[in-house]
Structure 1
Amino acid sequence: MSEGRVAVVTGAGSGIGRAVALELLGAGWSVALTGRRTERLEETAALATSGGTREGAPEDIAPESAPGDGTESPSANAPLVVRADVSRPDDVAALFAAVRERFGRLDLLFNNAGTFGPGGVPVEDLAYEAWRHVVDTNLNGAFLCAQAAYRQMKEQDPQGGRIINNGSISAHTPRPHSAPYTATKHALTGLTKALALDGRPYRIAVSQIDIGNAATDMTARMQTGALQANGQTAPEPVMDVSDVARTVRHMAELPLEANVQFATVLATAMPYVGRG
């Protein structure tokens, strides 16, 4: 059990973020759920609190709102819901202020929020606005959250904490027509290494998990047919997203003296290793 540990999960309203948040909550973590859609975050919180597994209702804090007026005392086990766009510095600052106000410290940031961008668009036809949106979300958003987490982990007592970045196997190998996503995920690997190095003096461990074909809404099309490098369209196997969540939890619960620097978790038979 991990009572007393505090995590922030970005992109917690669906998919991998939701699965990781529920896994951590089930293990006794206190978790702040963040994303751009409050209703999806509240669905995640409701899943965590249903069936008597958690007490109290989720607390909803918009970035522009004060962290609390002192009129309520939510259960320590209730997830904290904070609507935020990670590409906006003011939203990120308000998110981490709310976490500090509610929980007093931060032990884990799971930097998960991301977007693939427009699918099937050749690079020569890609609008700059589409490129910029992916970069702002996947790379700039990860940096802003990591920076805010780093500052809090460095200043808190006891010092230190852990950041896990969601890299994707696109940090290694691209899919067709995926230049923005692939470029940001390669860049995230560099950010992970730099943060890991800079965090050493402050007991801040930074790592990356590269995921391939976890069964989520984002990968639903993989099961019906995905464009392959040879120009053909073929269905691809997927894996249960809970297997990813358990891997993240394992990485998160290591002592700060140990770190899984990079982990790759993928559907065993997906076309990635070798020639497909």
Structure 2
Amino acid sequence: MTTSTRFTGRTALVTGAGSGIGRGIALAFAAEGANVVVAGRRRDPLDETKALVEQAGAKALAVTADVTRADDLRALVQATVDHFGALDIAVNNAGVLEGGGLPVADVDEDAWRRMLDINVTGVLLALQAEVRQMRTQPGGGAIVNIASRIGVHGRIPGTTAYGATKAAVSILTRGAALDHIADGVRINAVSPGASATAMSLLPGETAAGRAERMKSAVPLGRVSTVEEVAAAVLYLSSDDAASVVGADLVVDGGSTA
């Protein structure tokens, strides 16, 4: 059962929605009345997210798509419009971190290219497909790209390559926001810090070990919850943020302060 009507009648698309932050964002939109389209490369996790969205009382659609393929993204947007009639909100969350812990000189070329393809090119291609639809609609739409606090202040050893791709997302967000605000499309970003997902765990680390490490690593003394990151995304997607354009909202417990 939904708990809010802030997004009732609107349709939100979330990429990388099979787990982690993407799943949390999808569930947050469901709780606030939106129709939710979940996208990702693997069907089983998407079906799990879709079922959870429906349990929350929202209508849902699951579509497999590879964000590195423009054809997949065009088909994803078309499926969204065919099913729900419009694309009001898009969250470009799909991303990977590979080669973590390695200095720049030792980053594997294949890992680098994969991060570029998914984290940067994937966002560009998604923006293109989403904006082309939204600018044809009365009222336009809102897009939120998921960047990273590492792209804002890359001071964690072994994450420079990943941070470079996320810094690119932040710059892409700002430029696209200015390019398309006249089309009625608001584009912003959220940059999470360490959050309660598998991506923030060190190799072999448990959630309890991470919690202990974060007591000194993060000024707030803990990781951000998935719900806290999702709340930032929903704010930027909402009418409350009608004059927010090209922002990068950092949710990191003070790590970049």
TM-score w.r.t. the length of structure 1 is 0.81
Tell me, yes or no, if structure 1 residue 188 matches structure 2 residue 169. Answer: yes
What does 1:187-226 align with in structure 2 at a 5 Å threshold? 187-221=168-202, 224=209
Mark the runs of 5 or more structure 2 residues left unpaired by the alignment.
Answer: none
Encode CA deviations 1:192-243: one digit per residue, 9 max, x unaligned: 11111011211111111111111012113375369x9xxxxx8763122111
Are the equivalent residues in 1 in contact too, given 2:46–2:62 (CA < 8 A)? yes
Deviation per residue, 1:57-99 (Å, 9 max, x gap): xxxxxxxxxxxxxxxxxxxx42110011101112112111111
2:147 touches 2:169 (CA, 8 Å); kept in 1?
yes
1:265 aligns with 2:256: no
Structure 2 distance, partners of 1:196, 1:87, is 21
Identity %: 38
Name the counterpart of 1:107.
88
Aligned to 2:234: 249
RMSD: 2.1
Quick one: which of 27, 32, 57 aligns to 1:27?
A: 32
Shift of 1:179: 2.7
CA distance in 2, matches of 1:129, 1:220: 22
Q: Is the 8 A contact 2:89 2:142 kept in 1?
A: yes
Match of 2:135, SS state, is helix
Q: Paired residue for 2:143?
A: 163
Give the conservation status (yes or no) of the 8 Å contact 1:31–1:80.
yes
Contact 1:214 1:267 in 2 (8 A): no
Q: CA separation of 1:199/1:220 partners in 2, compared to 1, >3 Å: closer, same or farther?
A: same
The answer (yes or no) to whether the contact 1:161–1:256 under 8 Å persists in 2 is no
Deviation, 1:138, is 0.3
Correspondence 1:43 to 2:48: yes
| Residue in structure 1 matched with residue 152 of structure 2 by the alignment | 172
Are the structure 2 counterparts of residues 273 and 195 from structure 1 closer, same or farther at C-alpha, using a change threshold of 3 Å? closer
Partner Cα separation in structure 2 for residue 257 and residue 118 of structure 1: 38
| Corresponding position of 1:128 | 109
1:34 Cα deviation from its structure 2 partner: 0.4
CA distance in 2 between counterparts of 1:273 and 1:188 reads 17
Q: What stretches of structure 1 of length at least 5 have no aligned partner?
A: 55-76, 229-233
For residues 256 and 120 of structure 1, do their structure 2 counterparts lie closer, same or farther at Cα, with a shift above 3 Å needed?
A: closer
How far has the Cα of 1:110 moved from its partner?
Answer: 0.6
Aligned-partner Cα distance in 1 for 2:177–2:131: 11
- Aligned residues between the structures: 240
Distance 1:117 1:152 in 2: 32
Moved more, 122-131 or 163-172: 122-131
| CA gap 1:127/1:160 in 2 versus in 1, 3 angstroms | same
Q: How far apart, CA to CA, are the structure 1 residues paired with 2:141 and 2:51?
A: 27
Displacement after TM superposition at 1:167 (Å):
1.1
Larger Rg: 1
Which runs of structure 1 show a deviation greater than 4 angstroms over 4 or more consecutive aligned residues? none
Q: Is the 8 A contact 2:36 2:53 kept in 1?
A: no
User: Structure 1: how far apart are the matches of 2:89 and 2:243?
Assistant: 14
- In the superposition, relative to structure 1, how do residues 249 and 121 fare at CA in structure 2: closer, same or farther (>3 Å)? same
- 237-246 or 214-223, which moves further after superposition? 214-223
Distance 1:3 1:235 in 2: 39
